[in-house]
């Protein structure tokens, strides 16, 4: 899910839409954070997230 928000965030940042990009980066980071918490018992996956 984090990747779903990360790609558009990078595109918006490249277009100069920094506020919109920032919002998408926040969503992506929250998804990655939740993913790493859920993957607590799988250290390799947790590290990647």
- 47 φ/ψ sector (left φ>0, alpha ψ -120 to 50, else beta): alpha
Question: Whole-angstrom distance between the N-terminal and C-terminal Cα of the chain?
Answer: 11
Q: For 19-28, what is each residue's pLDDT tens digit?
A: 999 999 999 9
pLDDT of residue 49: 65
Report, as ranges of residue numbers, the positions in the chain whose pLDDT lies below 50.
none
Q: How many domains does the chain have?
A: 1
Tokens for 49, please give them.
């997230």
CA neighbor of 2 nearest in space, from 26, 38, 37: 26
User: At CA 43, angle to CA 40 and CA 25, rounded to 5?
Assistant: 70
pLDDT of residue 15: 94
pTM score: 0.75
The residue segments making up the domain with residue 10 are 2-48
């Amino acid at each position: 899910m984090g990747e779903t928000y990360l790609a558009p965030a990078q595109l918006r940042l490249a277009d100069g839409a920094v506020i919109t990009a920032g919002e998408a980066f926040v969503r992506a980071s929250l998804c990655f954070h939740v993913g790493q918490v859920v993957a607590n018992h799988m250290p390799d996956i947790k590290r990647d997230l």
